[in-house]
Amino acid sequence: MQSTQNLATVLPFAASVAFGLLAWGAVCRNYVWPRIRDLPLHAAVRPLLHLHLFRYIGLAFIVPGVVSPDLQAGFATPAAYGDLVAMALAWVALMMGSRRYSRIAIWAFSLWGFADLLFAYYQGAIGVGIETASLEAAWFIPTLAVPLLLWTHVMVFAILLRTRSVEARQQALPAGTPGMGLRG
């Protein structure tokens, strides 16, 4: 049974995460996705990758004074360093540009980054079960930043799957048939 103190922070936290997902979902659906959906792969993912260069803010989870000393290391450490790895993978994917293996770098970034965010939510809610008040000043990360980052991963996956299916259809066309203009 949840304590009254725990419910006093868990309910607003869960509502904040849900509202963050809804708000960023609306922004991405109405403003971001229409602008990037028809772009070539690398042009479409570039702005999304740039957002993930700010994932160093996950280090806030291990900074005394920013979070409570009661924030469990089983949550804080993987969340902080998982974000650093995701940031590094975003840099690699950006530096690859449209080179030969850039698609692999984009997949690696998005698979790791998405899994890292979901794992942090899992660890916080179920795994180690943090007291949400122990996030203190870092409360904004899982309620404001993470919902946006999750949506950017969804868009990257959609772009990767879309461009792969377009390439497959182009390869299935008979020789001499005009292609569909894939530029990624």
pLDDT at residue 131, as a whole number: 92
**Can you tell me the mean pLDDT for 148-169?**
85
What pLDDT shows up at residue 90? 98
Does pLDDT of 119 surpass 90? Answer: yes
Residues near 22 by beta carbon (within 8 Å), at least 6 away in sequence: none
pLDDT at residue 170 above 70? no
Give 180's pLDDT tier (boundaries 50, 70, 90).
very low
pLDDT at 6: 80
What is the arithmetic mean of pLDDT over 113-127?
96
| Count of the separate structural domains present in the chain | 1
Question: Is residue 181, in this structure, part of any structural domain at all?
Answer: no
Find the largest Cα–Cα distance for the chain.
70
Residue 182 lies in a domain: no
Mean pLDDT of 17-35: 98
**Predicted pLDDT of residue 7:** 82
Could you list the residue range(s) of the whole structural domain that residue 139 is in? Answer: 4-166
pLDDT confidence of residue 9: 87
Q: CA 16 to CA 31: how far, in whole Å?
A: 22
What global pTM score does this model have? 0.86
The answer to whether residue 74 sits within a structural domain is yes
- Each residue of 56-105: pLDDT tens digit? 999 999 999 999 999 999 999 999 999 999 999 999 999 999 999 999 99
Evaluate whether residue 62 is within a structural domain: yes
Q: Which residues are registered as beta bridge partners of 67?
A: 64
Mean pLDDT confidence for 36-50: 96
What is residue 184's predicted lDDT score, i.e. its pLDDT?
A: 46
Determine, yes or no, domain membership for 184: no
Q: Per the domain annotation, does 174 fall within a domain?
A: no
**Domain presence at residue 20:** yes
Q: Which tokens in the block code for residue 112?
A: 């790791």
Does position 173 have pLDDT exceeding 80, yes or no?
A: no
The answer to whether residue 172 is domain-embedded is: no
Between CA 10 and CA 42 the distance in angstroms is: 39
Closest by alpha carbon to 51, among 15, 23, 90?
90
